[in-house]
Amino acid sequence: MSELVKRYTASVDFDKRLWRQDIRGSLAHAKMLAGQSIISAEDLADIQRGMAQIVTEIEAGEFAWSTELEDVHLNIEKRLTTIVGDAGKRLHTGRSRNDQVATDIRLFLRDSIDDILLLLGQFQHKLLDLAEREAATPMPGFTHLQVAQPITFGHHLLAWFEMTRRDTERFIDTRRRTNRLPLGAAALAGTTYPIDRAFVAAELGFEGLCENSLDAVSDRDFAIEFCAASALLMMHFSRMSEELVMWMNPRFAFVTIADRFCTGSSIMPQKKNPDVPELARGKTGRVYGHLTALLTLMKGQPLAYNKDNQEDKEPLFDTVDTVSDTLRIFAEMIAGIKARPASMRDALRQGFATATDLADYLTRKGVPFRDAHEAVGLAVRRAEELGIDLPQLSLVELQRFAPLVSDDVFAQLTVEGSLAARNHAGGTSPERVRAAIARARNLL
C-alpha cells in the first residue's frame, strides 16, 4: 500500500471515538467464548486484564493510535496482543470486523440516543417553565405571517413542546430497532464455533438479535433512521430559531434573548445579533446533508458488508454532536428568554385580531356565518380608514354594518375575552394552557 492508499482507507482518525463500545463488545464476546469453552478461563482473564490497561491508557491520552493499523478495532486488538500475548490473538475467534463494527455503531448510537433523550427532556422542562410564566400573556397568532387571532404566548410555546414531544417519540422508536445484536454474523455467513448470541446480547443490553447474518453486517438503516429523526428535530429547532430571530427584531420586539447568546458586530457598535438561533437554523442544513449522505451511501450496496459503510461514521458522529449541542444551548437560551408583552399587545391592536370574534358574536345572534364574515370585513375596512382598532368603533358605527350588535359586544372584542372564549382541548385560553402544561409535565 502506498501512503496515499493507507490514508485513504484508514478510519482510525475518526472511528477511535468508538473505543469504549469496541472494548465493551470485545469483553462480552470474550466472556461468551470462555463460557462456551472456545477459549480458556485464563485467556479470558488475560483479555480482561489487558483491556483494563488499554482503557487506562486511552483515558490518560497515552494510547498510541496508528494509521498503519487502519481502524479502532485493529489498533485495540494489536495493543491487547502486545500486552497479553496469545490470549489477545484468540479474541477474534468466531468474529469479524464486520459484525464488530456493526455492534460498536449500534452501541454508540444507543448511548447517544439516551443522551439526546435526556437533553430533550431538559429543554422541554425549561420550555414548560417559560410557558407557565407566559400562560396568560396575549400575543398575535399569525397565518401567512399576518396577524390572525389572539393567542397566548404560553400556547405558542406549547406548540414547540408538541413538536419536540414527537421528536422524543421518534428517537425512542429508533432506539428499539438500533438495540439489536449483530455479533455472531462474523464476516457475513455466521461462524462454525458453538457461539451463544443470546448471552452476548444480554451482556450488552441488546433487546434482541439481528436475525440474519447478511443483514446484520450490511444494513445501516438504523443510523439512517436516527439521522431522519435528527433532521426532523433540527427542522423544528430551525423554525423556532426563525421565530426567535423575528421576535428579536425591534419591529416585533416580542422577546429579548440573554446577551450571552448574541454577538455584536465588528463595525456596527449598536448591534446585538441573534447568532445562536441563526446558527441552529444554519446547522439544520448540515444535518439534512448527513441524512442524504447516508441514504446515498446505502442505496447501491449489494449484500453483505462493503467498505462503503466505513463512511457512515463521520455523518453519524456529526449528527449526534450537532443535535446534542443544539439541545444543550437551547435549554439554556430558553431559560433566558424574556417576553415583552407591551409589544405583543401593540401588534395585536394593529391587526384587528378580534375580527373573527365579532363574526362569531353575530353568528350566535342568528346571522349566517358567511354574512357575518362579510359584515365584519366592512367594519374592519371602516376601522382602518379611521385608523383605530375594531373595539374602538362606536356602537352606532358597528350597527351600520350589523344591526344586531348591542353593547354586550365590546366584552367579546377584547383580547382577554377572545382568549378566554377559546376554552376547549388544544385551545389557547389561559386556563387550557395551564392544563396543557400540567399534562405535559406529567408526560415528562
User: Which lies closer to ligand ARG via its Cβ, residue 12 or residue 158?
Assistant: 12
Distance of CA 258 to the CA centre of its chain: 23
Comparing C-alpha atoms, which of 169, 171, 170, 197 is closest to residue 182?
197
Comparing C-alpha atoms, which of 348, 339, 414 is closest to residue 146?
348
- Shortest Cβ 71–ligand ARG spacing (Å): 4
- Shortest Cβ 59–ligand ARG spacing (Å): 22
Q: What is the DSSP secondary structure assignment for residue 333, as one 8-state letter?
A: H
- Shortest Cβ 304–ligand ARG spacing (Å): 10
Distances (CA, A) of 295 to 226, 290, 301, 308, 311: 12, 9, 11, 12, 12
Distances (CA, A) of 6 to 9, 70, 79, 98, 195: 5, 7, 20, 19, 34
Pick the catalytic residue: 40, 66, 265, 406?
A: 265
- Shortest Cβ 43–ligand ARG spacing (Å): 24
- Shortest Cβ 121–ligand ARG spacing (Å): 32
Which residue, chain included where needed, has cell 448470541? 197
Measured between alpha carbons, how far apart are the two ends of the chain, in Å? 54
Tell me the CB-side half-sphere exposure of residue 232, using CA atoms within 13 A: 15
- 96 as an active site residue: the answer is no
User: Which lies closer to ligand ARG via its Cβ, residue 297 or residue 415?
Assistant: 297
For the stretch 134-148, what's the b/e string if a residue is b when 16 or more beta carbons lie within 10 angstroms of its beta carbon? Answer: bbbbbbbbbeeeebb
User: Which lies closer to ligand ARG via its Cβ, residue 20 or residue 236?
Assistant: 20
User: Which lies closer to ligand ARG via its Cβ, residue 36 or residue 301?
Assistant: 301
- Shortest Cβ 98–ligand ARG spacing (Å): 5
Distance of CA 236 to the CA centre of its chain: 8
Cβ atoms 154, 136 nearer than 8 A: yes
User: Which lies closer to ligand ARG via its Cβ, residue 15 or residue 167?
Assistant: 15
- 265 as an active site residue: the answer is yes
Question: Residue type for 170, please?
Answer: R
- Shortest Cβ 309–ligand ARG spacing (Å): 5
User: Which lies closer to ligand ARG via its Cβ, residue 298 or residue 327?
Assistant: 298
Q: Is 126 helix (H, G, I), strand (E, B) or coil?
A: helix
Pick the catalytic residue: 66, 96, 125, 144?
A: 144
Separation between Cα atoms, residue 64 and residue 62, nearest integer Å: 6
Specify burial of residue 108 (Cβ count, 10 A radius: 0-12, 13-18, 19+). buried
User: Which lies closer to ligand ARG via its Cβ, residue 101 or residue 320?
Assistant: 101
- Shortest Cβ 421–ligand ARG spacing (Å): 60
Contacting residues toward ligand ARG, per CB under 6 A: 11, 15, 71, 97-98, 101, 307, 309-310
User: Which lies closer to ligand ARG via its Cβ, residue 72 or residue 139?
Assistant: 72
Separation between Cα atoms, residue 264 and residue 415, nearest integer Å: 37
Tell me the CB-side half-sphere exposure of residue 108, using CA atoms within 13 A: 25
Angle at 426 between CA 422 and CA 432, to 5 degrees: 60
For 251, list phi and psi in degrees, rounded to 5: -65, -30
Cis amide bond preceding 45, omega within 30: no
Active site (catalytic) residues = 144, 265
